Amino acid sequence: MNIVACIKRVPTTDLQAKVGGDQKSLDSAGVQYMVSFYDEIAVEEAVRLKEKHGGEVTILSMGPSDAAKEIRECLAKGADKGVLLTDSEWDQRDALSTAKALKAKVEELGPNLVLTGRLATDHDNGAVGPMLATLLGWACVTDVIELEIDGDKGTAKRESESGVEIYDFQLPAVITCQKDLNEPRYAGLKGIMAAKKKPVEEAACEPGASQAEVTKLSVPPARKEGRIVGEGAAAVPALLDALRNEAKVL
Amino acid sequence: MTIVVYVEHQHGAPKRASAEALGAARSLSDQVVAVVAGEGADAAAAGLGGHGATRVVHLTGSHAFSPDAMAQDLAKIVGEHGAKGLFLSATSTGSDVAPRAAALLDSTLFSNCTAVNAAGDGFEITRPWLAGKLIAELSPKSSVLCATLRRNTFQAHSGGGNAEVSQVAATETGQATLARIEAKEEGKLDVSEAPVVVSGGRGLKEPEGFGVIEELAAAFGDAAVGASRAVVDAGWRPHGEQVGQTGKTVSPQLYIAVAISGAIQHLAGMKTSKVIVAINKDPEAPIFKVADYGIVGDAFEVLPVLTEEVRKIRAQG
């Protein structure tokens, strides 16, 4: 089975975000990057499926040339090769133009399955995976916490507010991964050494017209300073009084 | 200007999140087309005028739900009405269907919007980045504004009204189809939709420590249990309860953080709650910096007393 795992390089989740001088973009000074949390789960699932069914795992990403580092991290965990799509204004792209660029590459790679995270933890949009499936005319299940592939059929469980939903689908398909799906492995030294020899292709892609122009980016106002109402169980009446008479939420 | 709204419903009425999406659409336009489907949709359809819809499309059929088939129907309805907007709630179903419909309309998607305003011929929208560490204001250039709206953020419609209901046969075959649902316990609220959230962290020492959290949530009646990433990673609680950057973003009326120190990733997920209460042994814990009210103390001493008092208050109604 040939699998493409789509990943995005995003700022680490411990970032104290600041706005750049243009008031429209993230201040990149001191920002460290990582493979988006849910994409790591997608990569792990891809490698597990390869270990079970055989085949090949390709890591596909869009970003600056520096993002080859994040692709290598995934190769160190067992993926076979990488493709990095670059365009000079990649971070101006919207979800649709990203999905269109990925679609062209996915068609060329011809996988049975595309795995990606449920959302990238920078813009939190969660749209590229299902958009890619729609453009390809493929099945898609999102927020998947359990995945079974049997021949050209699949079953996926997804988390929803009302419980766990079980979907049936046909391959080829796009699956977006939620946290409970697996526990990503750490790369071992052997994997890291092997990754250095694995191919990472860098391919320029046409800049896409963005339908999402940022007009202003800001840090949300700090919450009004609160107060300590007291210590221990003795403070419960003071808390309830505040909730009832000040905050009016009881 | 027409806006199409996909309405999720339960017990013959729109879910609160969908009522909010209808309200948001109606505040922008006097032409709001509500779309309903599935079991019980006929009962729900009849009342949608009162929630701000000016027309209702009831998609009929007894086939299994498919998010891609639903997206096709929504895109078709948007096209037929020449709509400029397609709104869904940022629920699990809304977030699943919306990007597919957007792609069919050759429009990008704006997820989890916290504001949508009219601007000239189009719109401007606001949505969080980095789980709310930043607020982005955007000017959509898509032919149709496809958006999912954050819950507990938009006002439901209160002006009443009536809407004509038309029935349309739904697209029956989808690429992925819902085979069944393993429903959660009846009455158990999801952390993302409950008006009150009681969350616990590592300071509860062991999985059994969550007993005091569950009891306080039960005393409120309309509360859900939340958890920090540390306790979810430790396997004490399911991921569905995790609040924070790699869990759920919540904005309830009341958020009670118990024995949670307040890592930046956790704060990002709950900072927009209306009122925040922190209960922690460590007076220096960062959680107190975002809390409106704090109690410095041991959860196992404070919570049983608080639970008893809340129970009394709720019993009085």
Q: Tokens representing A86?
A: 């670059």
Identify whether the C-beta of residue A8 lies closer than 8 Å to the C-beta of residue A63.
yes
- Could you tell me the residue range of the domain that residue B241 belongs to? 196-316
> Which residues of chain A have a pLDDT value below 70?
none
Minimum CA–CA partner of A154 in chain B: B176
What is the pLDDT averaged over residues B84-99? 98
Of B177, B246, B296, the CB nearest to A13: B246
Q: Is residue B130 a part of any domain in this protein? A: yes
Same domain, B300 and B233: yes
**Residue-level pLDDT at A90:** 83
Mean pLDDT of B151-171: 95
Residues B94 and B233 in one domain: no
Tell me the domains of chain A and their CATH numbers.
2-204 (3.40.50.620), 220-250 (no CATH)
Task: Establish if A142 touches chain B: CB-CB under 8 angstroms.
Answer: yes
The whole-number average pLDDT for the span B19-24 is 98
B161 and B253, same structural domain?
A: no
Q: Do A230 and B238 touch (CB under 8 A)?
A: no
Q: Which residue has the tokens 């939340």?
A: B226
Together in a domain, B10 and B73:
yes
Backbone angles phi, psi at B125, to 5 degrees: -130, 160
* pLDDT at residue B44 greater than cutoff 80: yes
pLDDT of residue A127: 98
Give the closest residue to B27 by CA, choosing from B197, B187, B155, B170. Answer: B155
Facing residue for A216 by CB, picked from B100, B137, B180: B137
Indicate the residue among B151, B169, B187 that finishes a domain.
B169
Return d(Cα A232, Cα B301) in angstroms, integer. 7
Q: Do A232 and B193 touch (CB under 8 A)?
A: no
Q: CA neighbours within 13 Å on the CB side: how many for A145?
A: 13
The answer to whether the CB atoms of A236 and B277 lie below 8 A apart is no
Residues B230 and B124 in one domain: no
The verdict on residue B207 lying in a domain is: yes
Determine the pLDDT at residue A211. 96
Residue B259 has pLDDT above 90, yes or no: yes
Same-domain check for residues B130 and B231: no
- Tell me, what's the pLDDT at B145? 98
Q: Name the residue in chain B with its Cα closest to that of A222.
A: B290
B165 within some domain: yes
B87 and B234 assigned to the same domain: no
Q: Can you give the pLDDT at residue B117?
A: 98
Angle between helices B92-104 and B67-80 (to 10 degrees): 50
Q: What is the pLDDT of residue B189?
A: 86
List the single residue in A with minimal CA-CA distance to B124: A215
Residues B162 and B271 both lie in one domain? no
> With a cut of 0.90, is the ipTM above it?
yes
- My answer on whether B21 and B81 are in the same domain is yes
Question: In the prediction, which pLDDT does B92 show?
Answer: 96
Flag whether B182 is in a domain. Answer: no
Q: What's the domain count of chain B?
A: 2
pLDDT for the residue numbered A87: 83
Cβ neighbours of B111 in A, within 8 Å: 119, 124-127
Q: What is the DSSP letter of B238?
A: -
More confident residue, B183 or A124: A124
**CA dihedral of A245, A247, A248, A249, whole degrees rounded to 10:** -130
| Chain B interface includes A168 (CB < 8 A) | yes
Q: Which residues of B touch A211 (CB under 8 A)?
A: 107-108, 140-142
Is B183 within the bounds of a domain? Answer: no
Q: Which residues of B touch A129 (CB under 8 A)?
A: 99
Is there a contact between B254 and A243 if contact means CB atoms under 8 Å apart?
yes
A31 touches chain B (CB under 8 A): no
Q: Which residue of B has its CA nearest to A41?
A: B246
Chain segment B51-61, per-residue pLDDT in tens: 999 999 999 99
What does the alpha-carbon distance between residue B130 and residue A16 come to, in Å, rounded to a whole number?
Answer: 10
Contact A202, B268 (CB under 8 A): no
> Which chain A residues contact residue B109 at CB under 8 A?
95-96, 125, 127, 131
Query: What confidence score (pLDDT) does residue A225 get?
Result: 85
- CA distance to partner chain B, nearest, from residue A162 (Å): 6
Confidence of residue B121 (pLDDT cuts 50, 70, 90): confident
Give the pLDDT score at B257.
98
Rounded to the nearest 5°, which phi and psi values hold at B25? -65, -45
Q: Which of B99, B134, B169 is the last residue of a domain?
A: B169
Phi, psi angle pair for B18, to nearest 5°: -75, -35
Residue B304 lies in a domain: yes
- The share of chain B scoring above pLDDT 90, in percent, equals 93
Is residue B189 a part of any domain in this protein?
no
- Which A positions 80-109 lie with beta carbon below 8 A of chain B? 94-97, 99
Of B102, B134, B169, the residue at which a domain comes to its end is B169
d(CA A127, CA B109): 7
* CA-based nearest distance A199→chain B, Å: 31
Question: Does residue B33 sit in the same domain as residue B108?
Answer: yes
Residues B77 and B138 occupy one common structural domain: yes
Cβ separation of B99 and A130 shorter than 8 Å? yes
Q: Are residues B16 and B160 both part of a single domain?
A: yes
Report yes or no on B204 lying in a domain: yes
For residue B276, which residues of chain A lie inside 8 Å, CB to CB? 223, 226
Kindly report the CATH number assigned to the domain that includes residue B37: 3.40.50.620
Residues of B in Cβ contact (< 8 Å) with A181 = none
| Mean pLDDT (chain B, rounded) | 96
Q: Which residues of B183-214 are buried (b: 16+ CB within 10 A; e: fewer)?
A: eeeeeebbbbbbbbbbbbbbbbeeeebbebbe
